[in-house]
Amino acid sequence: SCCCEHSPVYKLACTDTSFNRQLGTAKTLTALLGPLTFIIFTYAIVVVAVTRIASISQRWKAFHTCPTHLLLVLLYYIPVMLAYVLGNLRLIQNFDLYTAVLTVSVTIPPMLNPIIY
């Protein structure tokens, strides 16, 4: 693995690890869905503010900057969320494949950031 993960460590325990699995899932969902909820809420505020602009050309210019940011947000969140969901549902059996998916999902979006913008 390219990073220290909680799951492989608690699987080494000789006791029931269902609580650790539930706690890890809850913490992961909070870490992923918290910022995503904030981004969606912020975009709602931006949409309301931009619709109050009188000039159509200024409104178009303001909305024109949003798709690039949304693309980067989706490029990050969709693979990471899919990796965690598929991992928690145990649809990815090979741990090396799971690690590769997570590594790619957290490396590719920052590399594409300068290209997209």
> pLDDT value at position 100?
79
pLDDT in tens, 46-72: 888 888 887 888 888 888 878 878 888
77 lies in a domain? Answer: yes
CB atoms within 10 A of CB 109: 20
Tell me if 109 is assigned to some domain. Answer: yes
**Does 10 fall in a domain?**
no
Residue 35 lies in a domain: yes
**5-17: average pLDDT:** 72
Residue 54 lies in a domain: yes
Cα separations in angstroms, 92 against 37, 96, 111: 27, 9, 25
**Where in the sequence is the domain holding 58, given as residue range(s)?**
17-113
Question: Does residue 69 sit within a domain?
Answer: yes
Has residue 7 been placed in a domain?
no
Q: Enter the pTM of the model.
A: 0.65
User: C-alpha angle 66/102/75, rounded to 5°?
Assistant: 15
Quote the number of domains for the chain: 1
**Is 5 contained in some domain?**
no
pLDDT value of residue 38:
92
